[in-house]
Structures are given as C-alpha cells and as structure tokens.
Amino acid sequence: MATLGQIIFGSMIALIIIFGTAIILILALSLTGQPSEVSSLDTTPIANLGIDELLSCYLNAESQPARLREVSVTWAKAGRTVYQYRDGAPALGNQDPQFRGRTQLFPKALPAGNASLLLRSVRRDDAGDYTCSVSSSSGSGEVTVHLRTAAFSAPTFKLSGSVLMAEAPRWFPQPNVTWSDFSGAVLNSSTSAIANFMGSFRINSSLQPVNVGAMYGCRIQNDLVTAESKASVTESGVTGDTYFTFTAASSSLASTHLSFIACALCIYCIT
C-alpha cells in the first residue's frame, strides 16, 4: 500500500508531466502558428510610398462552399477601423480619418472568400499591423498583416565619355550604392543622396572609367529593398535592366514571445 509520501511524490510527477506537455504545445503553436480559416498570401509586405498596395486576406478555400453568404469583414489597425463591410455594403461610420477615401474592398470577390484590402497612395505612417477579421455563413477567423513602407525606384543609366552614371529618383530609407564588374569585383565609385520634399532621397552615382562592350552591376540597397541592375555599355550608349528583392520581416516579435514563455516557466519552477 502506497504511503502518503509516495502519493504526494506521484502527484508531483504527474503535474510535472502535465505542465511539461502544455509548455511543449505552447512552444509548438508559437513556432507554427495556430490554424485559422483566414490567411494572407503575404503577411509582411513592403509598400512603395505613394503607390497603391493590396493587403491580402482570404477565407481558406478548403473551409468554405463554392460561394459564401452573410460575409462580414473588418480591417483594423491598432484598434482603429480601417475598413468595415457588413450586411452587403461598406459600413464606414467608424472609419479612422487617416483611411477615408483611401481604402477599398472588392464586393464581387467576397463570395469567393477574397477579403483583400486596397490601400491607395501609401504613406509612411501607414506602416504597422493590420488585422483582417472575416465571418461568414461557413466559417470565420482573422489574420494579421505587418505592413512596412519604403520608397524605391529603378535607376536610369547615362553614358558621358568614359563615365557611367545612374540616377534613381526615390529611395527611403537612404540606401547604399555598390558598383561591380562582370566578375562581381567591387569597383570604386562616387554617390550622392539628395533629400527631396517628400522625405525620400534622389540617388546619383557614377562609375569611371568604363569600357565599351563591358557590363557593369549597380546595386542600390537599404534594410528593406535591394535593386539589382545590369548596365551594358555599347558604342551607341548604355542599356540597363533592374529587378527588386525584398527583405524578410524580422523575427524579433516571435523571439520576444518565446522569451516571455520561458520566463513564465522559470517563475513557475521557482515557485
């Protein structure tokens, strides 16, 4: 027959197992995310200042019939209403002034589960976390989209004698410029950044001397966006093409969340 001490010891072991399992589940959910019927194609988009941006939000196809009924959508940012749709029409009485006349849903796409938001003429203060909440006759849920803002533009190239020049009219934050030859070796160059009235920078950069028939690389890069250009120098001038890549969002929020869980666990163990 078990003694009182054995019973207490056994109970403590059981509690440790239960709490350990719960903690493992919490950590797993924090890493993989809780399943939701609502999702986004891009939860960390980078919008170009002054340009329209589409924030994607969808009710997952596997959780819905061919067409949804009684669809309600609310987009919010920091507790403020960005856009609201209910009872078959926009409901904008509580819309934050920052977004008036600048937001739009697509009612014809709602029955298919598409609740994406068009944000017009993006501003720097539009950056932040947006929550898309969708409810319908067949399911509901929400997703958070973390919008980042930047200014970026492709450079234009000019050739003057043996000097190759690149000009990009809009960049923010202020970028660095690197020139390279066909093999990728970094070349000496001269770059200036001139602030304009919108708070972005006009970038002027030059490389010399350059050779006819050669190809040169020009990289314009800040913490959010990179523009990779190839410029080919010919006897008749210079031709160039550019493609953009975007920096993935920081995982600091997730790290903070995990640190909080670990701290709470330590407190529990001590007590």
pLDDT on residue 49: 95
Structural domains of the chain ordered from first start: 38-149 (2.60.40.10), 156-246 (2.60.40.10)
Tallying the residues shown for the chain, one arrives at: 271
pTM exceeds 0.85 for this model? no
pLDDT on residue 248: 87
Answer for the pair 15, 87: CB distance below 8 angstroms, yes or no.
Answer: no
Question: How many angstroms separate the CA atoms of 110 and 93, rounded?
Answer: 21
Question: How many angstroms separate the CA atoms of 86 and 94, rounded?
Answer: 13
Looking at every residue in the chain, the average pLDDT score rounds to 82
**Regions in the chain scoring below 70 on pLDDT:** 1-36, 61-68, 250-271
pLDDT on residue 196: 87
pLDDT tens for 184-203 read 999 999 999 999 877 899 99
